[in-house]
Amino acid sequence: MQSGGGYIGPFTTEITLTYRNVFTNIGNAYNPITGIFTAPLKGAYMFRVSVYGHGGTAATADIVKNGERVVIAHEHQAQGSLASSNGVVLILEVGDVVYVRLWSGRRIYDDHNTHNTFSGFLLFPLR
């Protein structure tokens, strides 16, 4: 997540999350500055998102393809830890973009334990 630790959000508008702790980025299709994955070739891709927070404010983020919400990870309760995840297989064309968007009024918590993740990988290319 963004540098440092602690809460990210809530904000008055949706924001694209940036993941600075990039474990693997073969081909550099993920841009850690913008938080956007850009498909380098047409294919079937698997994406996953996980969110973590603390009670009182919901933790809600979605995977977005070319500006359209695809799946949501959401959890809310009055107290305690919050955790949710979701995933999807998408058919992408060259140049399609995928990213994670934190909903307005929601927050997540991250620290050195890397609770919040965004993963994507090519399953197989398509013609």
pLDDT tens per residue across span 1-21: 554 579 999 999 999 999 978
CATH code where residue 47 lies: 2.60.120.40
User: Is residue 118's pLDDT more than 80?
Assistant: yes
| Token pair in block for residue 58 | 């919901």
pTM of this prediction? 0.93
**How many structural domains does the chain have?**
1
CB 117 within 8 A of CB 108: no
E strand map for the chain: 6-8, 15-16, 30-31, 36-38, 43-54, 59-65, 68-75, 81-92, 97-102, 108-110, 117-125
Domain of residue 56, residue span: 6-125
How far CA 47 is from CA of 32, 71, 111, in Å, comes to: 16, 10, 22
In a domain, 105, yes or no: yes
What tens digit of pLDDT does each residue of 68-77 get? 999 999 999 8
In a domain, 1, yes or no: no
What's the rounded Cα separation, in Å, for the pair 82 and 94? 35
